[in-house]
């Protein structure tokens, strides 16, 4: 580790809806239980688009603040009492730093970097040591930065089945969460049905292991195709990422006593037309997910290492080109993740 600078650069959101600005700030000093991380990469999530629009506003969201929930880099200094990390360790930060393990609680989910305080879009940040997870050795920092939100959400969702060998999983679209779900479900021995708006994106999903591909533009009643592919039975677990428009179809795509994970809002935040009779008579388990714990991130990092998996990243930009990265994501031109490096 080279000598640490006295000041470093951060990209801040000055106030709700205002453009990001580069600022120089004093280097933070890690307090008890904290590590100082030289950030090397962040990744974009749908969540970050919402944040950059200034929609996360109110008493728990301070201004100005540094956005971005997901980042990875190298430990360059440690607070006085940190024994679990060493200077030089490559790490990634958990989405909910206070949620170390166990079931979700309001206290565990109280903090999110980039929302409730400064996030990862800066050269250096201090972070609770117990919320940093070792980067799998075969991954670059840009790859590691794609894991905290999207991969943890996919992992936590599959754990709600729990998905195992021989199961059938449906996942929606070719965004970050969905393509991690493809990779993890395959690693767990399940078969995967992947939906997308695009045949060419579906081919990338097939390359990651998806067994059956459905274009939801040309096959709008894709839940019927899921039932046909599963010989009328339905899928064991449906990862619903569309929300308002897709949830009713996801319930119909699910087998008796199977699980529909309510994880996304890609088609809208509003009320979904839940097929109550079907859900009741088919004993459907409807369960919401919000990312997951530090422990979940560590578990999926182990799986990624054991199976030599690499995240699907379609675009990588330096942070000076963040605007273009955001444009690509808004236009849904990406497949899997978009990474942003902080050289």
Ligand X SMILES: NC(=O)c1ccc[n+]([C@@H]2O[C@H](COP(=O)([O-])OP(=O)(O)OC[C@H]3O[C@@H](n4cnc5c(N)ncnc54)[C@H](OP(=O)(O)O)[C@@H]3O)[C@@H](O)[C@H]2O)c1
| Sites of contact with ligand X (CB under 6 A) | 45-47, 149-150, 153, 172-178, 196-198, 201, 241-242, 245-246, 263-267, 289-291, 329, 332
The minimum distance between CB 215 and ligand X, in angstroms, equals 9
Select 120 or 124, whichever has its Cβ closest to ligand X: 120
C-beta of 38 vs 201, nearer to ligand X: 201
Nearer to ligand X, 73 or 176 (CB): 176
**In contact, 148 and 69? CB cutoff 8 Å:** yes
DSSP 222-274: HHHHHHHHTTTS-EEEEEE-STTTTHHHHHHTEEEEEEEEE---TT-SS----
Which ranges in the chain belong to alpha helices (H)?
Answer: 46-52, 141-144, 152-159, 176-187, 199-207, 222-229, 247-252, 276-281, 294-306, 322-330
Pick the closer one to ligand X by CB: 188 or 338: 338
Instruction: Name residue, tokens 């109110």.
Output: 58
Residue 151 C-beta: closest distance to ligand X, Å? 10
Asked whether the beta carbons of 293 and 101 are under 8 A apart, the reply is yes
CA 194/CA 181 separation, integer angstroms: 10
Nearer to ligand X, 50 or 298 (CB): 50
**Residue 115 beta carbon to ligand X: minimum distance, rounded to whole angstroms:** 13
- Smallest CA-to-CA distance from 268 within 286, 287, 242 is with 242
Q: Which residue is nearest to ligand X (CB)?
A: 175
DSSP-derived secondary structure for 302-322 = HHHHHTT----EEEEEEGGGH
With respect to ligand X, which residue has the nearer C-beta, 126 or 195? 195
Using CA atoms, how far apart are residues 84 and 194, in angstroms rounded to an integer?
39
Rank residues 160 and 279 by Cβ distance to ligand X and give the closer one: 160
CB 39 within 8 A of CB 119: no
Q: Cβ 52 to ligand X, closest distance in Å?
A: 13
Shortest separation between residue 296's beta carbon and ligand X, angstroms:
11
For residues 226 and 230, what is the distance between their CA atoms, to the nearest angstrom? 6
- Minimum separation from the CB atom of position 29 to ligand X (A): 32
Kindly state the smallest distance separating residue 206's Cβ from ligand X, in Å. 12
């Amino acid at each position: 580790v080279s000598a640490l600078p006295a000041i470093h650069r951060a990209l801040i959101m000055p106030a709700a809806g205002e453009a990001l600005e580069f600022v120089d700030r004093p280097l933070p000093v890690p307090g008890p239980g904290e590590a100082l991380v030289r950030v090397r990469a962040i990744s974009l999530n749908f969540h970050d688009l919402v944040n950059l629009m200034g929609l996360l506003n109110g008493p728990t969201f301070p201004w100005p603040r540094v956005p971005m929930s997901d980042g990875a880099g190298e430990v360059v200094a440690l607070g006085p009492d940190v024994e679990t990390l060493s200077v030089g360790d490559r790490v990634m930060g958990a989405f909910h730093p206070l949620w170390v393990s166990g079931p979700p609680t309001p206290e565990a989910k109280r903090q999110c970097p980039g929302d409730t305080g400064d996030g990862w879009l800066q050269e250096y940040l201090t972070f609770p040591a117990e919320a940093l997870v070792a980067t799998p050795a075969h991954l670059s920092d840009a790859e590691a930065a794609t894991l905290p939100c999207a991969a943890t959400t996919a992992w936590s969702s599959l754990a709600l089945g729990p998905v195992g060998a021989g199961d059938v999983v449906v996942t929606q679209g070719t965004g970050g969460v969905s393509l991690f779900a493809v990779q993890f479900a395959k690693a767990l021995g399940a078969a995967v049905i992947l939906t997308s708006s695009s045949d060419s994106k579906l081919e990338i999903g097939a390359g990651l292991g998806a067994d059956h591909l459905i274009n939801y533009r040309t096959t709008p009643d894709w839940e019927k195709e899921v039932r046909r592919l599963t010989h009328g039975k339905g899928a064991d677990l449906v990862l619903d990422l569309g929300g308002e428009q897709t949830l009713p179809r996801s319930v119909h795509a699910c087998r008796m006593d199977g699980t529909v994970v309510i994880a996304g809002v890609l088609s809208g935040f509003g009320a979904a037309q839940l097929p109550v009779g079907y859900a009741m008579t088919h004993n459907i388990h409807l369960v919401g997910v919000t990312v997951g714990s530090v422990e979940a991130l560590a578990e999926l990092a182990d799986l990624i290492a054991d199976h030599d998996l690499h995240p699907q990243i379609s675009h990588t930009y330096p942070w000076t080109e963040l605007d273009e990265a955001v444009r690509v994501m808004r236009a849904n031109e990406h497949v899997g993740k978009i990474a942003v490096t902080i050289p």
